[in-house]
Amino acid sequence: MKKLFSALLLACLGGQASAQAASDAVLLQGGYVMTMDPAVGDLPGADVLVRDGRIVAVGQNLEAPGARRLDVRGKVVLPGFVDVHSHLWVTTMRGQFRNAGGKFFPVSSRLAQAMTPEDTYTAMHLGVLEQLHGGITTTADFFDNVRDAAHGEAGLKALRDAGGRAVLFYGGPDKTTRTLIDLDHLKTLASARQAGDRVTLGLAWRLPRDRADEANWALRQREYDTALALGLPIQVHVSGEPGPMFDALISRGYLYPGLTVVHATDATPAHQAALERAGGSLALTPLSEHRVAYGLTRLDSFSSVTRQGLGIDGNSLAGMADMYATMRLAALTWSGGAQDEAAPDPRALLDLATRRGAMAVGLDRDIGTLSPGKRADLQVIGLDAVNLGGFGGGDPAALLVYSARPENVEAVMVDGRYVKLDGRLVGVDLPAVLARARASAEALLRRAPPP
C-alpha cells in the first residue's frame, strides 16, 4: 500500500510540474468573455491577458509581446466555478448509494471506517481532478472523515497536488460529534500557512446530535473558539432537523461573517434574516439535497441572503462533479415550483456559481470574476459540440445553464496555469489515476464492516 501511495504521489507531482512549466504570460484571444463583473459585463471578441498568475487586462486587441497565445474565437471564456461545499473523500464510493438498496449516510459511514490515509488521498485527489475537468477551479471541502492526523495530512496533500484552489474544512473522525476535533493538529497545520497559499484551512463544524447535551456543547464551543482564534472560516450543516439547528445557531450567538450554513433547505424567513444580518453565508447543493430527500431546493426561497453559492456536496453523492447539471436542476426546480417558465434567470445562476460563490467562501477579493488584479482562475467552453449545436448567437447564459456539460470545457486555468488544455487534464496519467481509484474502492468494500 505504501508503494501504491508513493507511486500516486510521484504521478501527481509530475502532473503539477507540467502545469507549472506554462509561460508566465498567456493571452487568450478573441473569445466571448463573460467577466461576471457587474461593472464590466460581457465582452464579445475580447482578449484576456494573464501574467504571473493574475489577470492583467481584459479587452479587445490587447498587446502582449512574448505571451503564449490561445485562440478562443467562437468560444466562451468564463470564471472558474466555485463549489461552495463538498465531501471529496467519498469520491471512491461512487455507485454504492443505491436508494432503498443502500442510503448515503449509513453506507458512507460504514465505508469510511475502512479508509486508510492512502485511500483518502486517492479519493480526494481524483475528486479535484474531476472538478477541474468540468471547470470547477475552487472547492470548499468539508473533510469530516479525519480519522487521525495522517488522514488529515493526506487530504491536505491531495488538494495541493491536484492543482485546484481549495479551502479544506478540517473536521472530526466521523459525523457523530462524540469526540473533539483534533484541534492540536489543526493548529499545527494552521501554523504552516503562508500568504498566497492556493489551499487554505477552515473548520468543518457540527452541532450536537442532542442539543440538550451541554457537555457536548462545551466541546463544540472549544472547536468554534479555536477556529476564531486561528482566523479560520467555519462551515456547519443545518439539515435533518434544520429548524431547531438554525434556532440554536441564532440563540447561542454563533452566526458571524465567517460562518457558512450548509443546506438549510427549510430555513424560515426569520432564519435567513438572522443570517443576512450577521453577514454569514449559505451553501446550497441541489443535486444532493434532492437525492437524500431534504426537500426541493427552491432558489427563489433564499433570495434574501446575499452571500450564497452552489455546491456539489461530494462527487459520488451528486453523481458527478458537474456544476452545469447543478445549475440546470436549480433552474428547473425554480420554474417548475413557481409554475412560471420566466422565473429563473440563467445569468443569476452563473453568478451563483462564480462571483457569489466566491463571496460565500470569502475569496471574492481574489476570484469569481475576470477582473484585472484577480487570480487567473478561468474556463474556456467550446461551442462546437453536438449538445451545443444550433446556437445562433446572442447571450450564451441560457445555453450554458441548460445545455453545457463538463466535456464542453476545453481549457481550465488555476492561478494562471493550465490544468486542462485541448480537452485534456495537463500532466495527469488519467488511466493510472483511475486504476488506483478502482483498486482503492474495491479494497474499501473488502475491508469495511458488514452492513
pLDDT tens per residue, range 73-85: 999 999 999 999 9
Q: Are residues 94 and 55 in the same domain?
A: no
Q: Are residues 62 and 102 in the same domain?
A: no
- Assigned domain for 5 exists: no
- Assigned domain for 424 exists: no
- Tell me the C-alpha to C-alpha distance, in Å, between residue 166 and each of 157, 186, 327, 417: 11, 16, 21, 16
Overall average pLDDT of the 141-148 stretch: 98
- Over residues 162-210, the pLDDT tens digits come to 999 999 999 999 988 999 999 999 999 999 999 999 999 999 999 998 9
Q: Are residues 59 and 93 in the same domain?
A: no
pLDDT value, residue 106: 97
Overall average pLDDT of the 152-162 stretch: 98
- Assigned domain for 355 exists: yes
Overall average pLDDT of the 209-237 stretch: 96
- Assigned domain for 442 exists: no
Which residue has 464492516 as its cell numbers? 449
pLDDT value, residue 20: 37
pLDDT at 7 over 80: no
Average pLDDT, the chain: 94
Categorise residue 12: left if φ over 0, alpha if ψ from -120 to 50, beta otherwise: alpha
d(CA 160, CA 231): 20
pLDDT at 320 over 70: yes
CB-based contacts of 382: which residues, under 8 Å, 6+ apart?
74, 75, 388, 408, 409, 410, 423
Q: Are residues 195 and 52 in the same domain?
A: no
Tell me which residue range forms the domain holding 66. 23-79+368-415
- Assigned domain for 75 exists: yes
Overall average pLDDT of the 337-356 stretch: 98
- Over residues 384-424, the pLDDT tens digits come to 999 999 999 999 999 999 999 999 999 999 999 999 999 99
CATH number reported for the structural domain that contains residue 63 in this entry: 2.30.40.10
d(CA 143, CA 123): 12
- Tell me the C-alpha to C-alpha distance, in Å, between residue 383 and each of 23, 79, 421: 26, 16, 15
Which residue has 447535551 as its cell numbers? 213
68-71 and 54-59 beta bridge pairing: unpaired
CATH number reported for the structural domain that contains residue 344 in this entry: 3.20.20.140
pLDDT at 443 over 70: yes
Q: Are residues 66 and 152 in the same domain?
A: no
Contact indicator for 172, 181 with CB cutoff of 8 Å: yes
Contact indicator for 74, 408 with CB cutoff of 8 Å: no
Handedness of CA 133, 135, 137, 138 (dihedral sign): negative
d(CA 274, CA 297): 20
Confidence band for 8, pLDDT divided at 50, 70 and 90: very low
- Assigned domain for 14 exists: no
Overall average pLDDT of the 135-164 stretch: 98
Kindly state the percentage of the chain with pLDDT values over 90. Answer: 92
Q: Are residues 74 and 173 in the same domain?
A: no
Closest CA to 116 of 153, 85, 168: 153
Confidence band for 241, pLDDT divided at 50, 70 and 90: confident
Count structural domains, the chain. 2
Overall average pLDDT of the 440-449 stretch: 97
Closest CA to 291 of 270, 258, 320, 271: 320
pLDDT value, residue 240: 80
pLDDT at 11 over 50: no
Higher-scoring residue by pLDDT: 39, 7 = 39
* Whether this model's pTM surpasses 0.75: yes
CA 120 to chain centre: 17
Confidence band for 426, pLDDT divided at 50, 70 and 90: very high
Q: Are residues 162 and 64 in the same domain?
A: no
Q: Are residues 343 and 195 in the same domain?
A: yes
Q: Are residues 137 and 209 in the same domain?
A: yes
Q: Are residues 175 and 292 in the same domain?
A: yes
Q: Are residues 267 and 386 in the same domain?
A: no
Q: Are residues 192 and 322 in the same domain?
A: yes
Please give the DSSP secondary-structure letter assigned to residue 406.
Answer: G
- Assigned domain for 403 exists: yes
- Assigned domain for 342 exists: yes
- Over residues 25-63, the pLDDT tens digits come to 999 999 999 999 999 999 999 999 999 999 999 999 999
